[in-house]
Amino acid sequence: MPMDDARRLERLHVEIIEPPDALARAIAHRIADLVRRRATEGRPCVLGLATGSTPVGVYAELVRMHREEGLTFRGVQTFNLDEYWPMQPDSFHAYHRFMREHLFDLVDLDPAQTHLPPGALPREQLAAACEAYEQAIREAGGIDLQLLGIGKTGHIGFNEPGSSAESRTRVVMLDTVTRRDAAADFFGEQNVPREAITMGVATILAAREILLLATGEHKSAIVRRAVEGEVDHEVAATFLQRHPTVTVYCDGAASSELTRVATPWLVDEVQWTEPLELRAVVWLSLRVGRAILKLTERDYTENHLGSLLARHSDAGVVNGLAFNALGGRIRGRSKLPREHKVICFSPHPDDDVISAGGILRKLHLNGNRIVVAYMTSGNIAVFDHDVRRYIDILERLAVDEHLARRRVDALTVSIRKFLGAKHPGEVDSPEVQDLKRIIREAEAVSGVETLGLRPEDTRFLDLPFYRTGRVKKDPVGPADVAIVRELLEAERPDMLLVAGDLSDPHGTHRLCKDAIDLALAEAYPAGATRPEVWLYRGAWQEWPVTEATWLVPLAQEELRLKIQAIFKHQSQKDSAPFPGQDEREFWQRVEARNKETAALLDRLGLAEYFAMEAYVVA
């Protein structure tokens, strides 16, 4: 699409780069170019920096360039956007610590030239500290380049809905959505600070250049609002439209709701392909509220789809092609594999039943040999009160002399002592981590048994990258890949079920898929026949019917059985530690999601089903 046409809707310049690591490299190289240019000019470089999961890849690339290409940060000053309050700088959750671990301690930045809002000061000193922060930025000559992320409320820094365009560095109350979004990092929303110190909107807009980075489907709606919407005090990112030099960097997922991506026919002539035609017909059907086979020539011409109609000359032809394309994706049990070897990779113990419980049941009934491989222990997602309940059971068994009293007492006393002194977000002791792992393993076995599988059909890989005891995980390494490769070589599967959603709030799904992809590359050299990979999505989204390769119908009884399997994960029921923005329980999300997929096909005029799972064959 010509840029002039995009600009009619896009009020900010947007660059879409795939994959996410290439996006991070592009931003890092822009920063590095500025640092080098300022050094050549003999002028100091002042960078505004952001925290959170989004810029981690950017900092990793800057560190690599420092180590391998001689990029120096001598003479560079940095100012970070924000910090929680109250927050000690050495806390696991402190942005001070985040920056040290991801950038400051890994390059040759002068610590005296790195500035972050002070989260450890008493309240009565905060106003003066905020003014001093503004003064330090002015004395540095202003910020040359400001790196931003974007929150689900559209906040930049911690400028929440209602922030003024004239606001400067100050203390703010955090929005409920923001605190809920941070709950995973703090092991529960109740532990997230209610206040923070942030640069103001005016402080950010004073930077000479601004780069906003957004990745993942969960950012797509707010990216569109920031880029295409009117300036609005309720969405602080829209104020960026008033700045002359802003670039929004997105991956494909974060840009997916931009008009030029979601409905390109509305802004320009398009080169029609079969996938794009199907998207357009489904969009039109839902827009006018008529089934696909009832769409008319007038519907097409009045909704910017005249070129599609001209391509096929007749509305009936276009309708029929789209209708048959969707109908051909429906695969009941009779069309699913039989007597195959299948591995279902589940990032956490419960992703298997949440996302693929229906197809696992059907594959089992079709006589397939199924192995469910749980890639991580999921132990950080178990509440401490569940641990207390289980050690109470152990103690009661010991009292009744079913277990060795001395050994039980040694374990339970140690665990109770640790939990009694534990601070929010503190890493669990090895004994507690082990017990939480065992709890989740037992729940996983019970879940697959509900679907008809046996305990011996499960594998608990416990990949090393996850074993940090914290939400922040290590990078996937050779040891992780070797464990997955060993399973692939032992089972030699015909089919894999793999979590393909990349919007998991704490990134484990993305890392697990990376490990699988690397293991497949090692286990199956070029030219070797690989297993067919079916990607499912997790608890957060479902594949759109226009993207799905296969749609698997579920009868009412099959959905009920799937929900029963989810119920077996009792530590995640009622109130999961990491629920995301959706307050519903996982089973409620699953029920709604699977029913909505079926209902959508019904609205499009296809056969009516009770519920449906969606899969993409990679």
Q: What is the DSSP string of 273-286?
A: -HHHHHHHHHHHHH
484/522 Cα distance (integer angstroms): 10
**DSSP state, residue 156:** B
272/265 Cα distance (integer angstroms): 9
Q: Give whole-number Cα distances, 430 to 96, 280, 392, 480, 495, in Å.
A: 27, 54, 19, 20, 36
**Token pair recorded at residue 606:** 């296809």
DSSP SS3 for 13: strand
Q: How far is CA 64 from the centre of its chain?
A: 25
591/584 Cα distance (integer angstroms): 11
235/260 Cα distance (integer angstroms): 22
Residue carrying the six token digits 């009619």:
8
Identity of the amino acid at 226: A
Q: Please, are residues 226 and 154 in contact by the beta-carbon 8 Å criterion?
A: yes
Q: Which residues of 483-499 are buried (b: 16+ CB within 10 A; e: fewer)?
A: bbbebbeebebbbbbbb
Total length of the chain: 618
314/64 Cα distance (integer angstroms): 56
Asked if the peptide bond before residue 19 counts as cis, ω within 30 degrees of 0, the response is yes
Total Cβ atoms within 10 A of residue 122: 7
Nearest to 89 by CA among 119, 61, 109: 119
Catalytic pick among 10, 61, 83, 160: 160
Q: How many CA atoms are closer than 13 Å to the CA of 330, on its beta-carbon side?
A: 16
**Catalytic site residue 160?**
yes
Q: Per residue, what are the HEC states of 353-392?
A: HHHHHHHHHHHHHCCCEEEEEECCCCHHHCCHHHHHHHHH
Asked if the peptide bond before residue 531 counts as cis, ω within 30 degrees of 0, the response is no
Residue carrying the six token digits 């790196």:
147
Nearest to 518 by CA among 485, 556, 472: 485
Identity of the amino acid at 369: R
In 377-515, where do the E strands start and end? 458-460, 495-499
Q: Taken in order 326, 360, 596, 560, is the CA torsion positive or negative?
A: positive
Q: How far is CA 440 from the centre of its chain?
A: 22
DSSP SS3 for 232: strand
Nearest to 160 by CA among 193, 200, 190, 191: 200
Please list, in sequence order, all residues whose beta carbon lies within 8 angstroms of the beta carbon of residue 389, skipping any fewer than 6 positions away: none
581/161 Cα distance (integer angstroms): 17
Active site residues: 160
